[in-house]
Amino acid sequence: NLRQRTRRRPAAYVSWAIAVPVPSSSRRQKRAAFLVFLTPEEIEEDIYAPPSPSLPSAPPSFSPSCHRSPLSRPRRCPPSHRVLTSSMAARRVERRLMEKEMEARLWSSRCSGRRREKKEKKGEKKRRRRKRKRRKKGEK
């Protein structure tokens, strides 16, 4: 058992484990959000993905749903502390899609705005040239 193992160890080992810095995954995720554009399918995969094995939430002996009957052993029970219902997942997917859509709109409006400005400036220059030509023709 995990608890018994940690009890047997001297305190020095435990303090050493605490002192070792662990890179926070939340910071990494925040940074990656701007670099990676995910498709709706990928977002869904992220949400429904099983929790990473590197972070053991609780030993399997603690989860109560495993001890119901020995026949339902092949079916792995989800971690009890993080239950994700389909409605929650759907809401998350929806939110991510809305964020991406808003971002796309913002960029497209910026680009089209610039294009419009350039076109208007070009049009003004052409009109000025035409007026000058007409004036010169009138003088001759």
Angle between helices 40-48 and 86-139 (to 10 degrees): 150
The whole domain housing 106 covers: 36-49+83-140
- Residue 60: inside a domain: no
Our count of domains for the chain comes to 1
- Residue 11: inside a domain: no
Select from 23, 25, 3, 24 the least CA-distant residue to 14.
3
- Residue 89: inside a domain: yes
Residue type, 3: R
Rg of the chain's alpha carbons, rounded to an integer?
31
Q: What is the pLDDT of residues 59-115, one digit of tens each?
A: 555 555 545 555 544 555 555 555 566 778 888 889 999 998 888 888 877 766 666
Return the higher-pLDDT residue of 63 and 134: 134
Q: What is the pLDDT of residues 5-64, one digit of tens each?
A: 555 555 555 555 555 555 555 554 455 444 556 677 777 777 777 666 555 555 555 555
Q: Which two tokens stand for residue 96?
A: 């991510």
